Structure 1
Amino acid sequence: MWAIQLHRIGFEMVGLWPKSNKRIKKNLSEIWAFIIFILLIFFCNIPMICAVVQVWGNMVFVIKHLQTTLPLLIASIKYVIIRRKQTVLLSIINMMAEDWITFKQDKERNVMIKRAQTARSIMMIGYVLMVIAALTITILPCFGISVIDAANLTGVHKPLPLTPYHFYNTDKSPQFELTFFIHSLTTLLAGTIYMCVDIFLVLTVLHICGQLENFRYRLINLISYKNYNKVLNDIVRTHLRLIRYLIAVNFYKNLLDFMWAVNLHRFGFEMMGLWPKSNKSNKKNLVSEIWVGIIFVLLVFISNIPMMCAVIQVWGNMIFVINNLQTTLPLLIASVKYAIIRRKKTVLLSIVNTMAEDWATCKLDRERDVMVKRARTARLIMMIGYVLVMMTFLTVTILSCFGIQITYVTNSTDRRKFLPLATYNFYDINKSPQFELTFFIHSVTILLATTIYMSVDIFLILIILHICGQLENFRFRLINLISCKNFNKVLNNIVATHLRLIRFVDNIESTYSLMMLVLVFHFGIVFCLRGFLFTIIFVDRKIIKDKAIIAQGYFSILIIIILLMNTLLYCGAGELVTDQVSQTHNK
């Protein structure tokens, strides 16, 4: 307790100290952790990021705001990571407790005390620095001295500890007093988190260094012990504990690499309820199923059916039909993709598990570098996909807010207000709140549909790039097979890897074969429709003067870019696999 007392105070103050029991105290700790999270995110990070956005363009003000925004943002990230790793943190603390409880010689105990004293001294220095920083930031504004010189965005006359963008007047009372108190509390908590998390790492590192020093001492004096067998048994057991610890650290590191490789793709899939989960008995699965049902209703009954009805309404006029189909077909394809991926959840789970096993397996640095390189490419493509999704979403929704209709359709329902989607509505959308609700539902549907459309395709690229990396590593092992000493074992591993790769490719084919067949027809039809509209827009000189038509032209260009990107992804995926298989076969 003495060795970790100072560190425990800081961790318990911010709700980070792990507890093995599940009593009321743990529930209170969870509530306190939630309050801290709210303070950090909604009272600190978001308002301060808004302040940075407000002064964007003035380099001096941006830098002044970032000097406080970034540390507080990092403190929030540290807090989230440590909260998520409570189980691992508990195992580390239990291991340290076992090391202190275990019987040891005076020399070994002195080594551990020396390391603990060093960690305590560093922790004391950390507390002193934290208190000085907190007092400086909070006390000086009480005397009208602003510690952080930043832009006065909201015209406040009373200085506050932090410089966020407030959506209310902080000069009035009691708004000022409450805001000042919240800022002071948030600063104290963020400083504690920032300091304690780092110094706890120092504590664990010093502890393991002490254990290694004691382990070395036992090895040196092994021969001089009378009870040789018992001491040797203890040494072996300690060595195995250290090995298990290092293996766990290595496995955890590989798991972090896997999470890094798939986190962007997982974010999109989880937002759509498509990320597979192995546990089917928890409440989260029920919530996920409800969310999937909501998405399905939005796609089918709010988007697809009303848009098909709109196509039927204008049937006979080729221009209007093409105008409607250019948005109806992509949303329909998004629904088809969603249904296919939902049906293939089991196969998708096996694909994800295989990828996780590949990352968790012990590998050479060269093999890991190949996998990291492929993962970076997939992450870059996913980032581009998210950018295109947001551009499409903002283009459709924002222009509609300014009365610019992206899709030119007939006014079949006598509408006077523009909506993001060209649907046939069975009610009067000109009234309020029908219009606002419909606009919101259309916007949400567009965001969901575009995310599904892009995420499903780019997830294929992720698994294709992963299989290419595995094939490259497989080829490397084949080349170096003869030079390996344990030939039979390596050959056995190569055969097992080959069978796993075959199963992996079969799962990919099972998931995406039908989807690719549908998309081949989709790409051809939509390219023709977009090309036809694009030609009409830019050939007719009179049309170019119309702002709405110009907006439709830009939107057509954006959709063509997305379609070209998707076509390139599917074609490139096949070429990559073919190339890797050919190279492996030639070797």
Structure 2
Amino acid sequence: MLKKHIASSDLKYVINWIRISLKVVGLWPNSVDEMNWLSQYGFLIVSFLILVVISTPQIISLIMVWPDLNLMMKNLVLLNVPVTTSMIKCFIFGFSKQDVRPIVDLVVAAWMRPKSDQERALMMKYATIAKIIYVPFSIAAYASILVNVAIPFVVYQRAENISDYINEPFFQTVIIYNIQNSPIFELTCIVVVIMITLACTAYTVIDGFLAMSVLHLCCQFTNLRNELKSVMTEATMNDGNQFLEKIGLIVKRHNELIGLVKFLLINPLHSTFAHFRCILLPERGQSSSKG
């Protein structure tokens, strides 16, 4: 069995990036002991700032460029649709985050409990898949912000006459005050970049958390199946009481996992899991037809 410090290190490997990102946008589901006003409603502050700084100017800009199809598509694709989607996901997850706390508790308990090397290897495999899904795409999203927003801002700063570029900013927006004077222009750009980064973080980290949760549940079901096979194999060598005790623990853990799966299906977050079901249903259909 693995020692506690190794389990703690594995847990940090699995959850630290997601935990930090969720805390940045006010979406981390704290325990009751850690609960405070900011941790409970911080996501509303982030969502409001994104709405005021990014979404509202983008919507006004979309109306102003109507009916130019090229400018409308640029407006929608570059920021409007991604940021609006991020806000919707942020609201849904934010108001459901305390209901999500049992998933966090399950992940922590699963990593901290004693387990065999085989169980740890399987859990690390699934955790690595979750990180491969989340981390590279998060880095790609931040790189996109760097390329499309930060670098053009530096180019504009090096221009001899910044006012020539004010009328053609690096993305469509509406600003209700004069930004042609320094440092108003620089401060405005910095605030916009921060808000876009927060929206990007909320957009990617929620998907990352859900991917981690789904894969963790899959891993736990696989571990339970392997453990049940092991118990059945060793049944002849164990006395009846020990056998029933192990079966009871397996059934208890199985019921906990089933409860979390049901929660994910009836919770407003269930729509985010729809693509997983779309992937699995054809496979079930093929297997049943073969049978």
TM range (shorter): 0.7 to 0.9
Secondary structure, in 3 states, of the residue corresponding to 1:223?
A: helix
Secondary structure, in 3 states, of the residue corresponding to 1:221?
A: helix
Pair 122,252 (structure 1): closer, same or farther in 2 beyond 3 Å: closer
Query: What is the aligned partner in structure 2 of residue 101 from structure 1?
Result: 112
Query: What is the aligned partner in structure 2 of residue 231 from structure 1?
Result: 246
Alignment partner of 1:246 out of 236, 245, 261: 261
Q: How does 1:499-510 map to 2 (within 5 A)?
A: none
Whether 1:138 and 2:153 are equivalent positions in the alignment is: no
Tell me the TM-score normalised to structure 1 length: 0.39
Query: What is the aligned partner in structure 1 of residue 275 from structure 2?
Result: none
* Aligned-residue offset at 1:4: 0.6
Q: Is the 8 A contact 2:264 2:270 kept in 1?
A: no
Q: Which amino acid aligns with 2:174?
A: Y
Cα distance per residue 1:133-153 (max 9 Å; x no partner): 1211212222039xxxxxxxx
Query: What is the aligned partner in structure 2 of residue 36 from structure 1?
Result: 46
Q: Is the 8 A contact 1:161 1:180 kept in 2?
A: no
In the alignment, the residues of structure 1 paired with residue 252 and residue 21 of structure 2 have an alpha-carbon distance, to the nearest angstrom, of 33
* Aligned-residue offset at 1:172: 2.4
Q: How does 1:129-168 map to 2 (within 5 A)?
A: 129-136=140-147, 137-144=149-156, 157=166, 160=169, 162-168=171-177
Cα distance per residue 1:29-69 (max 9 Å; x no partner): 35753431222111111110000011111111111111121
Whether 1:205 and 2:214 are equivalent positions in the alignment is: yes
Pair 15,54 (structure 1): closer, same or farther in 2 beyond 3 Å: same
Q: How does 1:165-564 map to 2 (within 5 A)?
A: 165-225=174-234, 226=238, 227-252=242-267
The percent of aligned pairs where both chains have the same amino acid is: 26
Q: Is the 8 A contact 1:156 1:169 kept in 2?
A: no
Whether 1:119 and 2:134 are equivalent positions in the alignment is: no
Secondary structure, in 3 states, of the residue corresponding to 1:62?
A: helix
* Bigger radius of gyration among the two: 1
Query: What is the aligned partner in structure 2 of residue 85 from structure 1?
Result: 96
Q: CA RMSD in A?
A: 2.6
Pair 114,234 (structure 1): closer, same or farther in 2 beyond 3 Å: same
In the alignment, the residues of structure 2 paired with residue 59 and residue 248 of structure 1 have an alpha-carbon distance, to the nearest angstrom, of 42
Alignment partner of 2:74 out of 64, 77, 87: 64
Secondary structure, in 3 states, of the residue corresponding to 1:143?
A: helix
Whether 1:8 and 2:19 are equivalent positions in the alignment is: yes
In the alignment, the residues of structure 2 paired with residue 228 and residue 40 of structure 1 have an alpha-carbon distance, to the nearest angstrom, of 56
Pair 256,110 (structure 1): closer, same or farther in 2 beyond 3 Å: closer
Cα distance per residue 1:40-99 (max 9 Å; x no partner): 111111110000011111111111111121111111111111111111221210121122
Q: Is the 8 A contact 1:219 1:235 kept in 2?
A: yes
Q: Is the 8 A contact 1:160 1:183 kept in 2?
A: no
Query: What is the aligned partner in structure 1 of residue 56 from structure 2?
Result: 46
In the alignment, the residues of structure 2 paired with residue 131 and residue 10 of structure 1 have an alpha-carbon distance, to the nearest angstrom, of 13
Pair 56,22 (structure 1): closer, same or farther in 2 beyond 3 Å: farther
Pair 224,107 (structure 1): closer, same or farther in 2 beyond 3 Å: same
In the alignment, the residues of structure 1 paired with residue 254 and residue 40 of structure 2 have an alpha-carbon distance, to the nearest angstrom, of 37
In the alignment, the residues of structure 2 paired with residue 58 and residue 10 of structure 1 have an alpha-carbon distance, to the nearest angstrom, of 37
In the alignment, the residues of structure 2 paired with residue 208 and residue 75 of structure 1 have an alpha-carbon distance, to the nearest angstrom, of 25
* Aligned-residue offset at 1:251: 3.9
Q: Which amino acid aligns with 1:168?
A: Y
Cα distance per residue 1:429-480 (max 9 Å; x no partner): xxxxxxxxxxxxxxxxxxxxxxxxxxxxxxxxxxxxxxxxxxxxxxxxxxxx
In the alignment, the residues of structure 2 paired with residue 163 and residue 241 of structure 1 have an alpha-carbon distance, to the nearest angstrom, of 49
Q: Which amino acid aligns with 1:169?
A: N
In the alignment, the residues of structure 2 paired with residue 84 and residue 60 of structure 1 have an alpha-carbon distance, to the nearest angstrom, of 36
Which structure carries more helix by proportion? Answer: 2
Cα distance per residue 1:239-266 (max 9 Å; x no partner): 221222233334436x989xxxxxxxxx
* Aligned-residue offset at 1:197: 0.9
Query: How many pairs does the alignment contain?
Result: 247
Pair 41,10 (structure 1): closer, same or farther in 2 beyond 3 Å: same
Pair 190,207 (structure 1): closer, same or farther in 2 beyond 3 Å: same
Which runs of no fewer than 5 residues in structure 1 stay unpaired? Answer: 146-154, 258-587
Q: Is the 8 A contact 1:162 1:183 kept in 2?
A: no
